Structure 1
Amino acid sequence: MSANELVTEFLLAAEQGNLDALKACLEKGVDINATNRQKRTAIITASLKKHYPCVEFLISAGADIDKQDQTCFNPFLISCLTNDLTLLRIILPANPDLDRLSRFGGVGITPASEKGHVEIVRELLTRTDINVNHTNFVGWTPLLEAIVLNDGGPKQQEIVKLLLDHGANPHMTDKYGKTPLELAREKGYHAIAELLLAAGA
């Protein structure tokens, strides 16, 4: 079997969640970090497909967990984007690089805050030192995303409170100089405005 065929078989095994086939390919000397055309590794594919035993095995076998595909996905960012707490809890003990950026220039907590992934946000804030005030390519912090890009409902209120309790700066503005408080008021998100005021905004 050629090296290319071996890689194809290995990546297919990850997609199908076939642990035995993954092990067999590694025994034949496949590069654990080999990628397909989308620059996707076996561990990225297994993470997307929620094949958790495969993800755990690939970590233990030494896969590069930080490597990103063409869309900037890696296992850590996938867990944050897709609200996959199980995956996040598998990845965190392997010490992922928390500064890796999504395609919009956010860190993991940025999309999680925007999308209302309360448990992911809580896990990140209580178990990692991820940068809660990171600014993405368009000038948004996780706090701003949590306010502006969602519905202001109970999940967003909980995320705003979590962010503020863990050091989110209520004074950091968007690129037009608007504060979180101004934006919350513009949106009519009164509960969020109250949380910001209580945090000294």
Structure 2
Amino acid sequence: MSTNELVTEFLFAAEQGNTDALKACLDKGVDINATNRQKRTAIIIASLNKHYPCVELLIAAGASVDQQDQTCFNPFLISCLTNDLTLLRLVLPANPDLDRLTRFGGVGITPASEKGHLEVVQELLTHTDINVNHTNFVGWTPLLEAIVLNDGGARQQEIVKLLLDHGANPHMTDKYGKSPLALAREKGFNEIADLLIAAGA
């Protein structure tokens, strides 16, 4: 079997969730971080397909959890973007690089805060030292995203409170100089405005 065929078989096994086939390819000396045309490794493919036993096997075998595909996905960022707490808990012990960026320049907690992934945000704030005040390419922190890009409902209020409790700066403005409090008021999110005021905004 050629190297290319072995890689194809390996990546297909990851897509299918076939741990036996993954092991067989590893025994034959496949490059564990080999990629397809989208620059996806076996662990990225397994992560996207929620094949957790495959993810576990690949981590144990030394797969890179930091390598990113064309769209900047890696297992850690996939867990944050897709609200996959199971995946996040598998990946965190492998010490992922928390500073890897999404295609919009956020860190993992940025999209999780924006999309209302409360349990993921909680896990990140409790078990990692991820930068809660990271600014993405459009000049927004996780706190600003949590306010501006969602509905201000109960989950978002909880996320805003968590962010503030874990050191989110209530004074960091967007690129137009608007503060979190001004933006919350603009959107009529009174409960969030109250949380910001309580945090010293």
TM range (shorter): over 0.9
The equivalent of 2:7 in structure 1 is 7
Q: CA-to-partner distance for each residue in 1:18-70, whole Å, 9 max, x for gaps?
A: 00000000111100000000000000000000000000000000001100000
User: 1:20-39 to 2 correspondence within 5 Å?
Assistant: 20-39=20-39
Q: Tell me the distance in 2 between the aligned counterparts of 1:53 and 1:26.
A: 15
Deviation at 1:118, TM superposition (A): 0.3
Secondary structure of the equivalent of 1:13? helix
User: 1:5-84 to 2 correspondence within 5 Å?
Assistant: 5-84=5-84
Secondary structure of the equivalent of 2:62? coil
Q: Tell me the distance in 2 between the aligned counterparts of 1:164 and 1:29.
A: 48
Q: Tell me the distance in 2 between the aligned counterparts of 1:184 and 1:29.
A: 55
Deviation at 1:133, TM superposition (A): 0.1
The equivalent of 1:111 in structure 2 is 111
Q: CA-to-partner distance for each residue in 1:139-183, whole Å, 9 max, x for gaps?
A: 000000000000000000000000000000000000000000000
The equivalent of 1:149 in structure 2 is 149
When the two chains are superposed, the root-mean-square deviation of aligned CA atoms in Å is 0.2
- Count, aligned residues: 201
Q: Tell me the distance in 2 between the aligned counterparts of 1:39 and 1:126.
A: 32
Deviation at 1:87, TM superposition (A): 0.2
Q: CA-to-partner distance for each residue in 1:90-139, whole Å, 9 max, x for gaps?
A: 00000000000000000000000000000000000010000000000000
Q: Tell me the distance in 2 between the aligned counterparts of 1:19 and 1:103.
A: 30
Instruction: List alignment gaps of at least 5 residues for structure 2.
Output: none
The equivalent of 2:183 in structure 1 is 183
Q: Tell me the distance in 2 between the aligned counterparts of 1:29 and 1:199.
A: 55
Q: Tell me the distance in 2 between the aligned counterparts of 1:156 and 1:81.
A: 16
Secondary structure of the equivalent of 1:169? coil
Q: Tell me the distance in 2 between the aligned counterparts of 1:93 and 1:9.
A: 28
TM-score normalised according to structure 2 size: 1.00
Equivalent position amino acid for 1:189 in 2: F
Q: Percent identity?
A: 87
Instruction: List alignment gaps of at least 5 residues for structure 1.
Output: none
Deviation at 1:83, TM superposition (A): 0.1
User: Which consecutive aligned stretches of 4+ in structure 1 deviate over 6 angstroms post-superposition?
Assistant: none
The equivalent of 1:171 in structure 2 is 171
Q: Tell me the distance in 2 between the aligned counterparts of 1:14 and 1:119.
A: 27
The equivalent of 1:96 in structure 2 is 96
Q: Tell me the distance in 1 between the aligned counterparts of 2:156 and 2:82.
A: 16
Equivalent position amino acid for 1:166 in 2: H
Q: Tell me the distance in 1 between the aligned counterparts of 2:85 and 2:64.
A: 20
Secondary structure of the equivalent of 2:87? helix
Secondary structure of the equivalent of 2:14? helix
Q: Tell me the distance in 2 between the aligned counterparts of 1:101 and 1:191.
A: 30
